[in-house]
Structure formats: structure tokens, C-alpha cells
Amino acid sequence: MSNAAPRPADPEHLWSVEEHLEDILATVRPLDPIELNLLDAQGCVLVEDVTVAVSLPPFDNSSMDGYAVRVADVAGASEEFPAVLEVVGDIAAGGPGSLRVGPGQAARIMTGAPLPPGAEAVVPVEWTDGGLGGGPVTRMPAHSLAPEAAGGQVQVHRAAAARAHVRAEGSDVRAGDRALDAGTVLGPPQIALLAAIGRGTVRVRPRPRVVVLSTGSELVQPDEALADGQIYDSNSFALTACARDAGAIAYRVGAVPDDAETLRSTIEDQLVRADLMVTTGGVSVGAYDVVKEALAHVGDEDEPGGGVEFRKLAMQPGKPQGFGSVGPDHTPLLALPGNPVSSYVSFELFVRPAIRTLMGLDDVHRPRIQATLVTDTALTSPKGRRQFLRGTVADGSVRPVGGAGSHLVAALAQADALIVVPEDVESVEPGTEVEVVLLG
Ligand SMILES: Nc1nc2c(c(=O)[nH]1)N[C@H]1C(S)=C(S)[C@@H](COP(=O)(O)OP(=O)(O)OC[C@H]3O[C@@H](n4cnc5c(N)ncnc54)[C@H](O)[C@@H]3O)O[C@H]1N2
Ligand code: MOO
């Protein structure tokens, strides 16, 4: 983590969404590249140009099950006047093969098997009698049931042009070609290509390891019994899922009680496996808001740049936020508000871009569209705060779901979008074009 961008000096400054995001993105740096096995590199950004070592296909091979022939031997062949050829043997995929096809000869060949010397084309088995002496066949008999079909004679019913049904060496990519450029995000097709050209490992930026930690003495693990005043911890589950969805390797730490020392030592214990830490709760103005107590300006005097700064943002939900770094490696830490919708929205707006920046991705934000607001009554929004309301999007329209309350998890579970109401707008009429963040 490098030093942060210049921060507003006034501690009462109300930060805009952009200012907070810029501060985070100016601080978080892409992780150093490492060599990973192909499947571990899925979703990661390649940092090397990959050159093809072995042409693909590596040799001329058949694209059909059939017979490898010489063009002149089948010229003018028809069902009425078939070309009759001597079958010199079978060529199956995978074998080196020592067969040669001379004049008047054919080799039975399987899809993917190397074209034997002397042969110029492949005729599919459907264009032949399959060596059975009758009309056209639809398939080859299994070798185990009819070993004699690898010899004898075959009648070919159609002519074949040179190279017909032959996949040429290097026709996909050639040795020395550029297979993938640095900067490519490795999805399944790119992993297919790397494997096909024989690359078992690649150099990529790794997935960040994100530790998610919720705070609150009222929190109980799902499946356990609730005592008076207790609630289930949903934030640590939601945000661990969010972190995975953003591309991270996420570790969920169970809820930590409202005790500053316990929280500090838990964070210290977790640092070893964290590229980024996320906490929820304890950032408001209550007497038990221990995240603030535990983390505010804990920076070691000998380690400039450390410490977490708490601030208020001009947004709803998500007004109280903390951002900074902890530990000897200055591991970035985002302290999100405890209300479940507030922590979720904060994650989408701030933590997701941070994770994707650590991964070295260019595209770090959720996509946004304009949509027509469909609602019975006008939406209201507090002056001076950018509101992110939950909604559902379809066919260019967006409908709000649930209200503005940041405790409404059931409505959040219905939503696939956030409706953005700007700071200077206090009322939005039905039919208005609004900005919408697509949650994917
Ligand atoms: N006097 C004021 N009170 C509050 C203000 C304010 O400006 N002045 N801001 C409000 C806003 S806005 C928010 S957001 C919250 C943020 O509070 P905290 O971050 O300190 O969060 P907690 O107090 O710990 O929890 C808030 C709420 O969320 C529930 N919660 C917490 N963690 C979880 C979890 N892991 N799973 C499910 N639910 C959780 C918690 O029980 C509380 O109900 O402060 C307002 N107050
Ligand atoms: O701003 Mo708080 O984050 O709504 O409920």
C-alpha cells in the first residue's frame, strides 16, 4: 500500500462518494505477479505475453472417421463405379503410426489421427462401403467386433479434393505466434488455449486474499439459538460472498464482540492471510462502536502511512466509513457501517473496486445504465446525500423494492440494481430517467 492521496484537512468535512473512492483507489496497488497453475489462474490478469511453443495442431490430422487416400485413386469415384482400394491398416488418434499409403491403397483413419505419409485426403466412412462390400455405411464397425475391417478392401463412392477433411499443422496457431497478450483476463476459453499449447502455469496477478470480519456483541452465528436482544450475523456472510463475487479469495471470520482489545488482537491474527481487510459495524457514534476505538490512528510512529481514518460520506446508506491501513505491511482496511444494507452498498461501491484494483483489472466498477423510474409515487431523498435505493431492472425500466431503511435485507434479496438519486435531488417523479448501478 502506498501513501494516500491528499486528504481534506477538516475532520468534519463531508466526503463525497468520489472523494472517498479516489482516496481508496489512489492507495491500493495491484498485487505482485506470481506463477500459478492454469486453473488457479482463472479470472486473473495475465502479466506476460504468451508465445506459442508448439503449433496447434502439432501435425496434419483427420477431421473425420474415414479412409486416408490418394486423390488420384478416388478421382471420378461414384456409388455405381466405386474406387476399390486395398486397406493397409488402422490409424487411431494418439499413435505415432508407421503406415504409408501407396498407389491403390487406403488406411482406415480416426478423427484426430495423424495423416499418414502418401495420403493426400480423407474420405468420411459414410462415403464408403466400410469394407463390407455393400452400399454406403453410416459408421465403422467396432475394432473389437470386426478386426478384419482394418484390412481387406474398401469401396469409395465419392472423389475427394486434396487436403479434404485434413486439419493442417499450425492451422489454429503456429509456433512463435502470440497466443495471448499481457493484460488478458483468463476466462475458460483463454485457459483452453493455454492448455492446448502446452502451458501448465502462467504468470498472473493473484486473487487478493480478503478477510471479512463483523463486529457486534449482539451477533450470533446462523443455526444457533437466539437469546434476548441477539440477531444473526448476516454481514460477514454477505460480504464474504461479495468478495468472492468480485474475484477475491475470501476468509470469513466469525463475529467479534464489542471489545477493542479482542478486535485488535483478532485483526493482528488475521493479517498473515490478508491482502485487504473488511470490517462491519462499530463505526458510528455510539458508546460501543469499538472499531473506531480499536483502529483510529493506531499507526505506529515508526511506520508512516498506517492507521485508519474515520469519516462521514454524503451518501445514504453508508454515511460512516473508515479507511486506512493496519499492520507492518500497511494492509488496506475498509471499515464499513454495520447496518446490513449499508455494508452491502458500501462493499459494492468501495471494496469491490479495491479488490479489482488489487487484481490489476482495468474494469473495476459495476456497470451503470440509464433507466426509466417506474413507481406509483415520487421517490424522496435527503438533501445533500446521494441515495442508493434498491431496485429491479427490466426492459429499460427500474422499479424500487422496499424502502430506504438500511436494515431491509429481504428487499435487498429481491434487488438486482441500485437506483442513484443525486445529492441535490430531493424528489424523483415517476417516469424520470435515473442512473442505475447493475449488481450483476
Ligand atoms: N446518533 C447517531 N446514530 C447513528 C448515526 C448517526 O449519525 N448518529 N448513523 C447511523 C447510520 S447512518 C449507520 S449506517 C449506523 C452505523 O452504525 P455502526 O457501523 O456503528 O454499526 P452498529 O451500530 O454496530 O450496527 C448497526 C445496526 O446493524 C446491525 N448489525 C451490525 N452488524 C451486523 C451483522 N454482522 N449482521 C447483521 N446485522 C448487523 C446492528 O445490530 C445494528 O442494528 O449507525 C446509525 N446510528
Ligand atoms: O447511512 Mo447508514 O449507512 O444509512 O444507515
Distance 242 CA to ligand 2 centre (A): 19
Task: Read off the pLDDT of residues 142-175 as tens digits, 9 standing for 90 and up.
Answer: 989 888 888 999 999 999 999 999 999 999 999 9
Would you say the CB of residue 266 lies under 6 angstroms from ligand 1?
no
> Residue for cell digits 486416408?
68
Distance 62 CA to ligand 1 centre (A): 67
In the numeric block, which cell numbers belong to residue 385?
446525500
Would you say the CB of residue 289 lies under 6 angstroms from ligand 1?
yes
Does residue 336 contact residue 346 with C-beta atoms inside 8 Å?
yes
Q: Quick one: pLDDT band at residue 3, thresholds 50, 70, 90?
A: very low
**Cβ-based neighbours of 222, under 8 Å, separated by 6 or more:** 232, 233, 237
- Position 305 scores a pLDDT of 54
Q: Quick one: pLDDT band at residue 302, thresholds 50, 70, 90?
A: low
Atom of ligand 2 nearest to the CA of 315: 1
- Position 10 scores a pLDDT of 74
Query: Between residues 294 and 304, which one has the greater pLDDT?
Result: 294
Does residue 323 contact residue 20 with C-beta atoms inside 8 Å?
yes
Best residue among 234, 285, 339, 341 to mutate for probing ligand 1's pocket (most ligand atoms within 8 Å of CB) is 339
Q: Which domains occur in the chain, in start order?
A: 14-31+206-358 (3.40.980.10), 36-55+181-205 (3.90.105.10), 61-167 (2.170.190.11), 368-438 (2.40.340.10)
Does residue 71 contact residue 112 with C-beta atoms inside 8 Å?
no
Q: Quick one: pLDDT band at residue 306, thresholds 50, 70, 90?
A: confident
Would you say the CB of residue 254 lies under 6 angstroms from ligand 1?
no
Name residue 436's beta-bridge partners: 369, 419
Task: Read off the pLDDT of residues 32-87 as tens digits, 9 standing for 90 and up.
Answer: 999 999 999 999 999 999 999 999 999 999 999 999 999 999 999 999 999 999 99
Atom of ligand 2 nearest to the CA of 316: 1
- Position 303 scores a pLDDT of 53
Give the residue-averaged pLDDT of 227-247: 97
> Residue for cell digits 505419409?
117
Best residue among 388, 406, 407, 412 to mutate for probing ligand 2's pocket (most ligand atoms within 8 Å of CB) is 406
Protein residue closest via CA to atom 42 of ligand 1:
339
Atom of ligand 2 nearest to the CA of 342: 3
Q: How far is CA 239 from CA 150, 210, 236, 346, 399, in A?
A: 62, 10, 5, 10, 25
Give the residue-averaged pLDDT of 365-385: 96
**Single-letter residue type at 77:** A
For CA atoms 423, 427, 433, 434, give the dihedral sign: positive
Does residue 107 contact residue 101 with C-beta atoms inside 8 Å?
yes
Dihedral over alpha carbons 413, 415, 416, 420 (to 10 degrees): -130
Would you say the CB of residue 145 lies under 6 angstroms from ligand 1?
no
Distance 424 CA to ligand 2 centre (A): 18
Atom of ligand 2 nearest to the CA of 319: 1
Does residue 348 contact residue 21 with C-beta atoms inside 8 Å?
no
- Confirm whether the ipTM is greater than 0.95: yes
> Residue for cell digits 478423427?
111
